[in-house]
Amino acid sequence: MSKVYIETYGCQMNVADSETVASILKKSGYEITEDMHAADIVLVNTCSVRENAETRVYGRLAVFRQLRKANPDVVVGVLGCMAERVKEELITKQGVNLVAGPDSYRTLPELLAKSSVSGNAIDIELSTEETYAGICPTRLESNGISGFVSITRGCNNFCTYCIVPYTRGRERSRDAKDIITEALDLQERGYKELTLLGQNVNSYAFKTEDGRQKTLDRRQETEDGTPNRRRETGDTRQETWDFPRLLEQVAKEVPSMRIRFTTSHPKDMSDETLRVIARNANICRHIHLPVQSGSNRILKLMNRKYDREWYLNRIRAIREILPDCGITTDVFCGFPSETDEDHQDSLALMKEVRFDFAFMYKYSERPGTYAADHLPDDIAEEVKGARLQEIIKLQGEIGLASNRSDIGKTFDVLAEGSSKKSKVQLYGRNPQNKVIVFPMEDKRPGDIVSVKVTDCTGATLKGLQVSGVGYQVPASRG
Ligand code: 5AD
Ligand code: SF4
């Protein structure tokens, strides 16, 4: 039996996609291995969002070329966003045998067969329909505690800097019943947390095919081929599903799990979604709401479709409806024509919102985007670097203050593993998505533990177990 090794770069969506790939290949008789050197096939699932994400993959491809030198029968394949963006060049210049874009994974068994006959194979066709319906992902590299379920694929927003709409194609929402089946599958496997994934989860919109009432069908087989024996209830009643409805239904279907979701686009972040979180105790109090810039002029050039005032209004709604909600963001500096004043607007917005955490970047021009074609990448590298340092420094202070303000509070923490620094300590995350380290005592990964915060750094909270306070997920039924 051929063995496949899969390496994954980039966002959580890629992790979820690799699990879909593993499931497709297992069904076709391949075995998944975690040992690259034992593999007949090496697949790397890739990211194109910034240049350095691609540089990292090119470095790995050099390693895989060495692997093929030692054993020419090994097949090396590139999947995901770089497959879609770089195309044939991966074969002609990088010594890769197989190139498959994000919508081509069903054809992987044929592509592998073709590459073994003719040396290489490529399929980078994007689809307006492929949602990998009916494929239950094989959980890879997983801690068995926290899993992903993708709810949409692709993106229609065309932010001018972003390559994703070109590499992942048009936005499609997955069938609500597939999403619920995957959630139930995770629950049956003993998972304690799931994250609903999409480039813009808030725009989830699914219509049942015939437009009539349709009953959720739990007869889809689970990964190992055994029928899923869940009760066959839960008719959809309405024809259309939006995100708040999906979120609430998932929360109710898997009451023993904590629910997270990412990423939310500020333009579509509705009060209704916030109210769904508020009335379901097993939905985590955390919203990742990428702002990208605090300058209205830059937001317009970015085609983000909201302005600073709209964004701040959404933050106010979150704070009002969910007072204990963690708020995190993505922000980047050095977008074409960004002035110091624009940059100051970003800093001022960060000070005003006081994000608990932020992913912070420098603008990276992506060939093929609107910005690359129309807006010169005119901010000097030193200026980008200096602005990023200012952003990182400010967020460091705000993040530390946010962590300090948690000292004395008690959180329900889902333990995920033992701490890297000490075997007698566990680490986990609270609903706000902050990492907390605490003494293990009698608890194990997978347990929900009541932890009182006693200390912190900028990156982590430290705490002690306290008994009897924590709720057991859920308190949300009914
Ligand atoms: N340059 C820098 N950052 C980018 N992002 C997306 N495209 C680019 C780019 N061309 C960032 C955005 C997005 C996150 C996933 O990556 O902040 O939210
Ligand atoms: Fe890219 Fe904008 Fe779509 Fe996010 S919403 S994936 S930043 S185009």
Q: What whole-number distance in Å separates Cα of residue 422 and Cα of residue 442? A: 15
**CA distance linking residue 366 with residue 236, whole number of Å:** 41
The reply to whether 72 and 111 lie within a common domain is yes
Residue 226 has a pLDDT of 45
- Asked whether residue 109 falls in the same domain as residue 58, the answer is yes
Which atom of ligand 2 is the closest one to the Cα of 49? 1
Identify whether residues 169 and 273 lie together within a single domain. Answer: yes
**Which atom from ligand 2 is nearest to the alpha carbon of 263?**
4
pLDDT for position 95: 92
137, part of any domain: no
Whether 191 and 147 have beta carbons less than 8 Å apart is answered as yes
**Residue ranges of the chain with per-residue pLDDT less than 50:** 211-233, 236, 469-478
Verify that 72 and 165 share a domain, yes or no: no
Contact 186, 3 (CB under 8 A): no
- Which-ligand-closest: CA of 202? 2
Q: Is residue 130 part of a domain?
A: no
Query: For a substitution probing ligand 2, which of 84, 153, 159 has the most ligand atoms within 8 Å of its CB?
Result: 159
Q: What is the pLDDT of residue 156?
A: 96
Same domain, 278 and 154: yes
- If you measure from the C-alpha of residue 257 to the centroid of ligand 2, how many angstroms do you get, rounded to a whole number? 28
Any idea what the CATH number is for the domain that residue 341 is in? Answer: 3.30.750.200
Q: How far is the CA of 414 from the centre of ligand 2 (A)?
A: 30
Does residue 366 share a domain with residue 448? no
Q: Whose CA is nearest to atom 2 of ligand 2?
A: 159
Contact by Cβ (8 Å): 362, 332: yes
Whichever domain contains 61, its CATH number is: 3.40.50.12160
Statement to judge: residues 400 and 423 lie in one domain: no
Backbone angles phi, psi at 425, to 5 degrees: -115, 145
Contact, 389 vs 382, CB < 8 A?
no
Judge whether 136 lies within some domain.
no
Sheet holding 326-333, edge to edge: 286-288, 326-333, 357-362
> Do 15 and 118 share a domain, yes or no?
yes
Select from 361, 375, 381, 387 the residue to mutate for testing ligand 1; criterion: most ligand atoms less than 8 Å from CB. Answer: 361
Question: Helix, strand, or coil here: 31?
Answer: strand
**Same structural domain, 161 and 268:** yes
| 161 CA: nearest ligand 1 atom | 10
- Domain-terminating residue out of 94, 123, 152: 123
What are the tokens at 450? 């009541």
The answer to whether residue 223 sits within a structural domain is no
- Cross-strand bridge partners of residue 153: 172
Does a cis peptide bond (omega within 30 degrees of 0) precede residue 165?
Answer: no
Closest atom of ligand 2 relative to the 156 alpha carbon: 3
The reply to whether 306 and 432 lie within a common domain is no
85 part of a folded domain: yes
Q: How far is the CA of 317 from the centre of ligand 2 (A)?
A: 23
Output the pLDDT for position 229.
40
Q: Are 76 and 96 in contact (CB under 8 A)?
A: yes
Number of Cβ atoms within 10 Å of the Cβ of 34: 10
Give start and end residues of each alpha helix (H) in 292-426: 296-301, 308-321, 340-353, 370-374, 381-404
Least distant ligand from the CA of 379? 1
Cα-to-centroid distance, 376 and ligand 1 (Å)? 17
* Closest ligand, as measured to the CA of 372: 1
**Host domain of residue 439:** 410-465
| Nearest alpha carbon, ligand 1 atom 2 | 363
| H/E stretch holding 51 | helix 51-70
- 446 domain-assigned: yes
Q: Exposure pattern of 223-257 as b/e (b: 16+ CB <10 Å)?
A: beeeebebeeebebeeeebbbbbbbbbbbbbbbeb
The residues lining ligand 1, judged by C-beta closer than 6 Å to any ligand atom, are 49-50, 161-162, 290, 292, 330, 332, 361, 363-364, 366
Residue 379: inside a domain: yes
Q: Are residues 112 and 156 in the same domain?
A: no
| CA of 165, closest atom in ligand 2 | 8
Protein residue whose Cα sits closest to atom 1 of ligand 2: 162
What letters, b where the CB count within 10 A reaches 16 and e where it falls short, cover 336-372? bebeeebbebbbebbeebebbbbebbbbbbbeebbbb
The structural domain count of the chain equals 4
Could you say which ligand is closest to the alpha carbon of residue 164?
2
Tokens matching residue 230? 């869940």
Q: Residue 449: which CATH number?
A: 2.40.50.140
Domain-embedded: residue 135: no
Q: Whose CA is nearest to atom 18 of ligand 1?
A: 330
Ligand 2 surroundings by CB, under 6 angstroms: 155, 157-159, 162, 164-165, 199-200, 265
> Looking at the structure, do residues 324 and 375 belong to the same domain, yes or no?
yes
